[in-house]
Amino acid sequence: MGKRATTTEQKKSRVAAFVGEGLAQVLPDDGIPWYRHSHLLLLNYYLFSLTLLSAANGYDGTLMNGLQALTQWKDFMDQPQGAWLGFINAIQALSTTLAYPVVAFFANRWGRKRGLLVGYFFLLLGALLQAFTPDAAGFIVARFFLGQPSSWWSGLAPLLITELSYPTHRGITTAFYNCGWYVGSLLAAWITYGTRDHGDSWAWRIPSLLQVGIPLVALPAALLVPESPRYLVSQGRRAEAARILSRFHAGGGGAGGEEAESPLVRFELEEIETTIREERDIASSTSWLDLVRTPANRHRSAISVSLGLFAQWNGVGVVSYYLALVLTTVGITSVTDQTLISGFLQLWNLLVTIVAASSVDRFGRRTLFLTSCVGMLVSFVLISGLSGSFAVSGKHATGIAVVPMLFLYYGFYDIAFTPLVISYPAEIWPYTLRARGCALTQLSTYAGIFFNTFVNPIALDAIGWKYYVVFAVILVFILITVYFLYPETRGHSLEEMAVVFDKTLAVGKGELAAKEEQNAPKPQLETSHDEMA
């Protein structure tokens, strides 16, 4: 008995490091792994399916990269370059940026789920127009339409994932959202490689049409996933929230009174209700100005804005949208070689980012950020040096050496700036400001993308490899900012995040856990759901 008790306490201590002491005390524990419980399998099927919605954005970015290597597309668009090429790419980011304020309002007014279908409407409209457009003007209009799914999905799906996840799974499920980017980019890279030898415009029209594929796989989950319990509580629909938490967190089947038998569900409901009530006591209504009213919110806003910009201004924008131009500057000009390198690069990205997303709770957010920044800085310095050497010497071997450095750079980028650019802002904001806070990150992200996609081709045409030095300098600034500004958030529930930023005792921490431990009956049908790893 003594040994078993010790083992149980050790397990609770380990789980508490991920979700906090309060939740750790009420989590079920029967020794059965989470994947052997149907309610958690169904919930995680919904949540991981929603990560595929980010595939549309990844597909679009890599598709445009691949199209620039195809003579069929360049002929159709009348050989775009410089500012014109930048505008063709930037119009998608402009569309996404304009939609985010609307998405944030929609999320608080009508919930997180309904807006997902708005994204599907624009995806179908844009993909069909891009695939069958008769001229360059139609292609650009299609690009504008295709900017809308990015805003609706990245503005709503991460909120839904964060607020629905089982407590010990939240860090990983939310981090996995942006991994879907590389599912789309991988598919786009290899489809473009496969169609490169078509003699007519179908070389680029086929990849344009197929960008609807992965989001359609996620459509059943988008239709069936439940609404966020936190949104329902905020709308006075407590009973619905209780049924959802009971069914998907406690395996209670959604029965009306089931939450009374589950300490976990009672704890979560009380924590959510108390937090939302206290947020409303401070401000009966919220606005964008609330993002900067308090020191804690100004800290959160600084992180949200900087993270969105840093995710694009660390050099990744050059490689993501203009890999063909980068490879050309180091002597790799073959269409087959360029599309093949792009395909393997996306496969590498997907593998690294899956490993990184699975490690967010094990290593913590701050460790991943710092490792990513140092690694990218070293890699970009090497890329700049090799590119400069090739420009002077013209040695083919020197140009080829840039390719593994690109893979190394992207590997370090994927450690933090793929999984955390979405999940970190979703964690740090309180419920009433979460939609706007996440939108703030996305607005800064797409402002960075718009700037990059417009300016990068001009700069690459004008100064070539010397442009890389700019990003090496920016990476030094990013590293310093992350070190001093980005705190660790591991070990806290969403409602307890105030302990990190507001320096106050979080709702439910300690006292509520103790009350649950003393007063709650031990249910017979409980399950053990250790952290996903």
| Residues of the domain holding 83 | 38-236+277-500
Asked, for residue 266, whether it belongs to a domain, the answer is no
Whether the CB-CB separation of 508 and 22 falls below 8 Å is answered with: yes
Confidence of residue 512 (pLDDT cuts 50, 70, 90): very low
Closest CA to 116 of 214, 47, 50: 50
**Domain assignment of residue 268, yes or no:** no
Cα(234)–Cα(252) distance, rounded to whole angstroms?
23
Structural contact between residues 389 and 398, judged by C-beta atoms closer than 8 angstroms: yes
Separation between Cα atoms, residue 195 and residue 266, nearest integer Å: 55
Number of domains in the chain: 1
Contacts 24+ apart (CB under 8 A), 498-504: 498/296, 498/430, 500/428, 501/296, 501/299, 501/300, 501/428, 502/294, 502/296, 503/296
Assess contact for 425 and 304: CB atoms under 8 A: yes
* 92 CA to centre of own chain: 18
Residue 391: count of CB within 10 angstroms of its CB: 16
Confidence band for 338, pLDDT divided at 50, 70 and 90: confident
Whether 526 is covered by a domain: the verdict is no
Asked, for residue 50, whether it belongs to a domain, the answer is yes
| Tens-digit pLDDT profile for residues 398-439 | 778 878 888 899 899 999 999 999 999 999 999 889 999 999
Tokens of 118: 């708005």
Let me know if residue 141 belongs to a domain: yes
Q: Which residue has the tokens 């959160």?
A: 300
Q: Report if residue 426 sits inside a domain.
A: yes
Contact 414, 353 (CB under 8 A): yes
Instruction: Please give the Cα distance from 235 to 404 (Å, whole number).
Output: 52
CATH number at residue 394: 1.20.1250.20
| 221 located within any domain | yes
d(C-alpha 500, C-alpha 488), whole Å = 8
To the nearest whole number, what is the mean pLDDT of the chain? 83
- Cβ neighbours for 17, distance < 8 A, ≥ 6 positions apart: 490, 491
pLDDT of residue 523: 41
- Among 2-11, 83-92, 102-111, 459-468, name the one with the lowest average pLDDT: 2-11
pTM: 0.81
- Tokens linked to 393: 């010497």
Asked whether residue 526 carries a pLDDT value surpassing 60, the answer given is no
Q: With respect to residue 246, please indicate whether it lies within any of the assigned structural domains.
A: no
Rounded-to-10 torsion of CA 403, 408, 410, 413: -160
User: At residue 522, does pLDDT exceed 60?
Assistant: no
- Amino acid identity, residue 482? V
- For residue 226, give both structure tokens: 């439940």
Among 19-33, 181-195, 212-226, whose mean pLDDT is lowest? 19-33
pLDDT in tens, 13-56: 666 666 677 777 888 877 788 888 999 999 999 999 999 999 88
